[in-house]
Amino acid sequence: MNSIEKTYRPDLPAWIFIGGLSLFPWLIVWADAVHGVEREGLAIAIITSCFGFAYLISLRIVITPTELAFRNLFRGNQRIKHSEIKRLRLAWIRRSGKGPLRLFVEPREGSLKKEMDINAKVFSRKAIRAVLDLGARVAEAEDGGLQDGIVMKYVRDWKKRERKER
């Protein structure tokens, strides 16, 4: 087994999107600056920016020789030993308030651990493949055909349907 610890952080598009959204209130403050800067608007811009960047900085997947760890601003640090993993599953799920591309880490029966739910959309393909490869080594891994994203899965499914119709 690999004895190197690997840490994965959010991918650049996540930084651009979430970081850009968190900087949007600054645009409003700047546009309204001709009338004077209001404390409330400035406070909202500062809080929103700090929250967005704190969220991005907190996200992390760590794969060690003995465990898988996921860190999130809201749920803190979650860890599961390799021997406690039953199945890793990449899925497209619509839930309000959560990203649609999810990576689920299911614990074995009898384990005191709860299912780990990771927002896979903010991490690179390399990070998701590393977690799924870990799952294939220590338990079961299922990507649902989503490793290349939902668009490529749709295109592959569409081509399969088209071939069957011929």
Tens-place pLDDT, residues 135-152:
888 877 776 655 555 555
What pTM was computed for the model? 0.71
Task: Say what percent of the chain tops pLDDT 90.
Answer: 16
Strand order in the sheet with 101-107: 116-119, 101-107, 85-92, 140-142
What phi and psi, each to the nearest 5 degrees, are found at residue 157? -65, -40
How does residue 59 score in pLDDT terms, banded at 50, 70 and 90?
very high
**pLDDT for res 1:** 45
Round to whole Å and give the CA distance between 120 and 104: 9
Q: Is the pLDDT of residue 110 over 70?
A: yes
Least reliable range by pLDDT among 99-108, 118-127, 146-155? 146-155
